[in-house]
């Protein structure tokens, strides 16, 4: 019912929007709304102060469960373009964005930058693909170029700025890839087993040769069951895994239940730290940027498992 009301609201707002002709003066900035903190950070890196940027989801916010408020709908209405992740990551927003797109609002799923063959398919997820692609730095480079191209089309007078910034940012991502490889030298392949709260790290696992095990599925909307906890606790003991990880955007209780289940079987497993999965850290901190988040996660994983 709530969703219905929201869609009606969106439709009404867009209808009234179509009636007025929006003319931008030469100095007026492009108004951009972004969903996840990863995308907000990237648009900030590419556009700097050339756009007026409004990021919806802050640190610790879970995109799978995020619902648009009335205030958000006003932000969508005022925006020249909305960048979102897509592939049903924002499970409760995607219908709204689809509807807006049909009504002429510029809504851009950044996952469109990636060809389907480079995505990890997942039969039981709504989009049929794993939406956590930002953990492949290679794919994030494609997203970088895609966003820069879209910004350039929307704001041609600053196109050179977006293109240059994208070039520089992609170079930084290459440096990140090298530093990831260097950090991983301390962790032999047999120790590369990553146990986390929800299934956000499959792309990470694919790139860096980790077996990834999680309590919840690709979305946090489904809670872990007692059987999952029992099965994974046995797996931890069997593989002599030193540490499991909590995630900043997922409640800690499932991982604590897992730790307790291991203890009940007379074994110990540490909590290796908090990983940033579907949201970055606080703005202004190192983990508040995509690159800082990735370095932090890598350091946390290697230190806890080596
Ligand atoms: Zn997720």
Q: Under DSSP, is residue 215 helix (H, G, I), strand (E, B) or coil?
A: strand
Q: Per-residue pLDDT tens for 242-254?
A: 999 999 999 999 9
List phi, psi (to 5°) of 197: -70, -50
User: What pLDDT is stored for residue 51 in this prediction?
Assistant: 98
Q: What is the CA(16)–ligand 1 centre distance, in A?
A: 35
The phi and psi torsions of 188 (rounded to 5 degrees) equal -60, 155
The stretch 92-97 carries a mean pLDDT of 94
Q: Which of 60, 131, 32 is nearest to 288 (CA)?
A: 60
Kindly indicate the confidence band of residue 191, based on its pLDDT and cuts at 50, 70 and 90.
Answer: very high
pLDDT in tens, 143-176: 999 999 999 999 999 999 999 999 999 999 999 9
> What DSSP character marks residue 115?
-
| 14 Cα to the center of ligand 1, angstroms | 30
Distance from Cα 266 to the centre of ligand 1, integer Å:
31
Please tell me the predicted confidence (pLDDT) of residue 251.
92
What integer pLDDT is reported at residue 123 of this predicted model?
86
- Whole-number pLDDT of residue 16: 46
Q: Angle 94-102/70-78 helices, nearest 10 degrees? A: 40
Cα–Cα distances (Å) from 78 to 25, 53, 166, 192, 276, in that order, read 16, 11, 26, 46, 30
- Cα 295 from Cα 65, distance rounded (Å): 26
**pLDDT band at residue 87 under the 50/70/90 scheme:** very high
Beta bridge partners of 51: 30
- Rounded to 5 degrees, what are φ and ψ at 286? -60, -45
Q: Is pLDDT at 238 greater than 70 in this prediction? A: yes
What's the whole-model pTM score?
A: 0.92
pLDDT(276) > 50: yes
Distance 297 CA to ligand 1 centre (A): 15
C-alpha of residue 20 to centroid of ligand 1, in Å: 38
E strand or H helix that includes residue 78: helix 70-78
Give the pLDDT confidence score for residue 167 in this predicted structure. Answer: 98
Report, as an integer, the average pLDDT of 247-274: 96
Residue 101: which of 83, 85, 118 has the closest Cα? Answer: 83
pLDDT(211) > 80: yes
Question: pLDDT digit string (tens) for 6-50?
Answer: 555 555 555 444 433 344 566 789 999 999 999 999 999 999 999
The DSSP bridge partners found for residue 274 are 246
pLDDT confidence of residue 99: 92
Distance of CA 277 to the CA centre of its chain: 7
Length of the chain: 306
pLDDT in tens, 283-306: 999 999 999 999 999 999 999 999
Distance 62 CA to ligand 1 centre (A): 7
Question: Residue-wise over 128-164: b if at least 16 C-beta within 10 A, else e?
Answer: ebbbbbbbbbebbbbbbbbbbebbbebbeebeebbbe
Compute the distance from residue 4 Cα to the ligand 1 centre, in Å: 25
* pLDDT (mean) for 191-200: 96
């Amino acid at each position: 019912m709530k969703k219905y009301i929201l869609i009606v609201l969106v439709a009404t707002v867009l209808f009234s929007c179509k009636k007025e002709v929006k003319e931008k003066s030469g100095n007026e900035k492009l108004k951009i709304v972004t969903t996840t903190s990863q995308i907000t950070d990237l648009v900030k890196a590419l556009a700097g102060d050339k756009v007026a940027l409004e990021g919806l989801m802050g640190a610790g916010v879970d995109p799978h469960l995020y619902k648009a408020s009335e205030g958000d709908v006003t932000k969508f209405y005022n925006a020249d373009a909305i960048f979102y992740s897509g592939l049903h990551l924002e499970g409760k927003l995607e219908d709204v964005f689809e509807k807006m797109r049909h009504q002429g609002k510029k809504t851009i799923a950044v996952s469109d930058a990636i060809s389907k063959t480079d995505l990890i398919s997942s039969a039981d997820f709504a989009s049929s693909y794993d939406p956590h692609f930002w953990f492949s730095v290679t794919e994030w480079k494609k997203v970088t170029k895609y966003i820069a191209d879209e910004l350039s089309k929307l704001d041609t007078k600053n196109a050179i700025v977006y293109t240059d910034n994208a070039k520089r940012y992609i170079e930084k991502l290459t440096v990140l890839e090298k530093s990831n490889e260097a950090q991983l030298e301390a962790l032999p392949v047999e120790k590369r087993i990553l146990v986390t709260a929800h299934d956000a790290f499959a792309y990470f696992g694919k790139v860096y040769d980790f077996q990834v095990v999680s309590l919840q599925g690709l979305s946090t909307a489904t809670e872990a069951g007692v059987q999952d906890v029992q099965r994974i606790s046995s797996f931890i003991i069997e593989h002599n895994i030193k540490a499991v990880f909590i995630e900043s955007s997922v409640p800690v209780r499932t991982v604590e239940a897992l730790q307790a289940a291991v203890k009940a079987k007379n074994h110990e497993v540490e909590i290796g730290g908090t990983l940033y999965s579907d949201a970055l850290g606080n703005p202004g901190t190192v983990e508040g940027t995509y690159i800082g988040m990735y370095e932090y996660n890598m350091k946390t994983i290697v230190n806890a498992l080596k």
